Structure 1
Amino acid sequence: MSLKKQFAVALASVGLGAALIGGGTFAYFNATTEIKDNTFAAGTMKIGAQPASQVFNVNNLKPGDWMERTFKVKNEGSLDVNQLLMSLQYSIHDEGGNQANPEELADNLKVYFLSSDNSAVPFDDRIILNSHNGKTLKQLKDGGQLDISSWGTIWRDLKPNANEEIYIGIKFLEDGKDQNRFQGDSVNLTFNLEGKQGAGERR
């Protein structure tokens, strides 16, 4: 093969390789546009309680006594509060140090949500009959929670800026035995309220 023919074959091979590497590029028309200023802002969950301290301040208790109080929960956020849960923390003063287990007092004080604060109706008749209702202080400290929103038709989603009045009762349980070991003892507790959002929805 002459040098001229060899050179022509080499050029053809180079051209074919470039076409394969380029992937068959071609010329075209195109146009673009944009959609600006898309924003996504998260809402807020915030609740407040009134009063914020000393809902209960009771002395001279004896087994069988009960106490009733009310407080208000306000939705201070921008989202509905779909579920409201209560737990608590406490410290116990064991007068005389005569209890083998100071936590026993916390097992004899039971917290309930009530349907109203109408004192004309017996306390036990106002306890909301619900499997989620009625837990001792110790149960509420050890991870248990009272679910206010389990009231069914009584509870509604708490809308932003709305208030809900909560009726609460605590009973000093009688265990049918000598309870002298509790004389002079006391409990200081803090209620912890947690509001939760509802399910996600199409927006």
Structure 2
Amino acid sequence: MTKFYRLFPFLLLLSMICFYPVTNVFAAENDTAENELDISLSSKENLFDISNMKPGDWAPRTITVQNSGSKDFVYYMQLQNSGEKKLFNELLLEVKAGDKELYQGKLAEFESLPERELTSGTEENLDITIRFPEHLGNDFQGLESAFVFSFTAEGKEGTTVQAMTMGHVASVGPTPGGSNLPPTSTNIIILMLLGTLLVAGGIVLMIIRHYRRMKIAQ
């Protein structure tokens, strides 16, 4: 038993020497796999960080998707809500690659871009625009929406890697005086029509009064 305790440190050292090359091989293999398939984004944190957005506003952004590895891959973009749903369900999204429109519709209805191919060492720009619909009323003031864009690259062997960027949109809130959201273009047109009707009515009344005075004078 005493001999065993004397030999124990030696056996432990021997086992470490034996397993060290094996662990290095696995680590090297993992590093190699990561280097072969690698997707990176020009915007690593927040693609959108917007405050005081109001009806009719839009925010364009451009993100560069890069194949930084040594293997070709196809990639697709997805979007997940990570905050409140009310504003998220109403915001509009547009995605373009050059002159080609890839998506136009509601943010909440976006599922995924069709697979796009990037060869090793190449990149492409995606133009992404968030729009605040003009018809949204005062019940959307002071709301926030948070979401995540995830880009997944897939190699020919089925290996996948992922990169993500965030989005945050906050609508304009009520002022200390309690005023509402700025009027939309539709509301402005209605106000202009009402003003025109009032002016026209005033002119008609003036003409009527003028003719009455002329009759009285006769």
Q: Report the TM-score range of the alignment, normalised by the length of the smaller protein.
A: 0.5 to 0.7
Q: In the aligned structure 2, how far is the partner of 1:50 from the partner of 1:112?
A: 19
8 Å Cα contact 2:75/2:151 also seen in 1: no
* Aligned pair partner of 1:137 in 107, 110, 113: 107
Question: Whose relative contact order is higher, 1 or 2, with alpha carbons under 8 Å and at least 6 apart?
Answer: 1
Q: 1:193 to 1:180 in 2, by over 3 A?
A: same
From 156, 174, 188, the counterpart of 2:146: 188
> How big is each residue's C-alpha offset from its partner over 1:33-71, in whole Å with a ceiling of 9 and x where there is no partner?
xxxxxxxx9894321111201221211111221110111
User: TM (normalized to structure 2)?
Assistant: 0.49
Higher strand fraction: Structure 1 or Structure 2?
2
What percent identity do the matched residue pairs reach?
25
- Map residues 24-43 of structure 1 onto 2, 5 A cutoff: none
Q: Residues 55 and 180 (structure 1 numbering): CA distance in 2 closer, same or farther, change over 3 Å?
A: same
- Indicate the residue corresponding to 1:109 in structure 2: 91
CA shift in 2, pair 1:65/1:148, >3 Å: farther
Gaps of at least 5 residues in structure 1 are 1-40, 93-102, 117-125, 150-156
Matched residues in 1 for 2:46 and 2:101: separation? 27
Shift in Å, 1:169: 0.7
For the pair 1:70 / 2:62, whether they are aligned, the reply is yes
Please report the RMSD computed on the Cα atoms of aligned residues, expressed in angstroms: 2.8
Amino acid across the alignment from 1:61: M
1:171 aligned to 2:127?
no
Q: Which structure is higher in helix share?
A: 2
| CA distance in 2: counterparts of 1:145 and 1:56, whole angstroms | 18
Distance 1:148 1:185, change over 3 A: farther
Of residues 114, 125, 141, the one that matches 1:147 is 114
* Runs of 4 or more above 6 Å deviation: none
Q: Deviations over 1:59-95 (max 9, x none)?
A: 1111221110111111123321234323233212xxx
Give the total of aligned pairs. Answer: 126
CA–CA separation in structure 2 for the residues paired with 1:110 and 1:137: 5
Are the structure 2 counterparts of residues 87 and 147 from structure 1 closer, same or farther at C-alpha, using a change threshold of 3 Å? Answer: farther
What SS class does the counterpart of residue 52 from structure 2 fall into?
Answer: coil
CA distances 1:89-128 after superposition (whole Å, capped 9, x unpaired): 3212xxxxxxxxxx23112112211355xxxxxxxxx6x4
- Do the aligned partners of 1:113 and 1:148 also contact (CA within 8 Å) in 2? no
| Match 1:48 to one of 21, 34, 40 | 40
Where do 5+ consecutive residues of structure 2 fail to align? 1-31, 159-218
